[in-house]
Amino acid sequence: MEIIVAPTPKHVGEFAAGRIAKVLDAKPNAVLGVATGSSPVPTYEALERMAQQGLDFSQASAFALDEYVGLPEGHPQSYAEVIRRDVTERLGMNPERVHVPRGHADDIPAACEEYERAIATAGGVDIQLLGIGANGHIGFNEPSSSLAGRTRVKTLTPKTRSDNARFFDGDLSLVPTHCITQGIGTILDARIALLVATGEDKASAVQAMVEGPAGAFCPATALQWHRRAIIVVDEAAASQLTQREYYDFVRDNRPDWQR
């Protein structure tokens, strides 16, 4: 794991955007894995500034990590709409190349299989942007999820539903109970995994992900097995890391060829 501690959420976003831009520079038709929620917002803002300065997303594709099940198509808090507003439109992507699991489908298992096929047909994800839940979930793979799972339906924990009630006017009864999420196995297939986390309430999950024993109780620990995982956190989210000096030393002494 490469652990980067940046001073503020804005710096986290700028660092993460830089890594995505590097992939896109090398491969204009790169396949980007995109996340929703609050954590990636500074990254999307930084990417939008880069797009205004000429970074071209028009040939790139994107696959979202997850979607609620049961919200009507076009619901403003469905991840399809969030991704359309925050990613597709702001970065100037081709909407036909931006994919979100079909949480409103009549046949949900078929929609999950179709999603896995679509990722494979696109050639796999080049760089997957991730957030982390306060309970250690990635995507919506809640604690106890299979570490080898593929895209499927999951039941959200009460903690995740109450954390996300802020997007539904604070009304827990409006937050769906189920979702479609890429599995941990799907996420681990991405060529680069880029996780961003900010704020004190992520500190214990970040510590467990980076330094804890790997296991399904903290699904993000699966990234310890990823061949190229980059963890970008702000000071608050880094506050419980015990080997901080070492991570900073590695960051500051990277050989030129590795930058």
The catalytic residues are: 66, 135, 137, 142
**Whole-number Å distance between alpha carbons of 189 and 49:** 29
Of the candidates 131, 139, 127, 130, the residue with the CA atom closest to the CA atom of residue 192? 127
Beta carbon nearer to ligand F6R, 3 or 237: 237
Question: Smallest distance from the beta carbon of 38 to ligand F6R, in angstroms?
Answer: 4
3-state secondary structure of 204: helix
Six token digits for residue 170:
């604070």
Neighbours of 252 (CB within 10 A): 7
Question: Smallest distance from the beta carbon of 75 to ligand F6R, in angstroms?
Answer: 15
* b/e burial code for range 72-96 (CB count within 10 A of at least 16 → b): eeebebbbbbbbbebbbebbebeee
Q: Which residues bind ligand F6R (CB under 6 A)?
A: 35-39, 65-66, 131-133, 137-140
Q: What is the DSSP string of 70-88?
A: SPPTT-TTSHHHHHIIIII
Are 153 and 69 within 8 A, CB to CB?
yes
Beta carbon nearer to ligand F6R, 129 or 258: 129
Question: Smallest distance from the beta carbon of 179 to ligand F6R, in angstroms?
Answer: 9
Beta carbon nearer to ligand F6R, 139 or 176: 139
Question: Smallest distance from the beta carbon of 140 to ligand F6R, in angstroms?
Answer: 6
Beta carbon nearer to ligand F6R, 106 or 169: 169
**Whole-number Å distance between alpha carbons of 155 and 48:** 33
Beta carbon nearer to ligand F6R, 1 or 134: 134
Q: Which residues contact 170 (CB under 8 A, 6 or more apart)?
A: none
Are 216 and 146 within 8 A, CB to CB?
yes
Question: Smallest distance from the beta carbon of 175 to ligand F6R, in angstroms?
Answer: 12
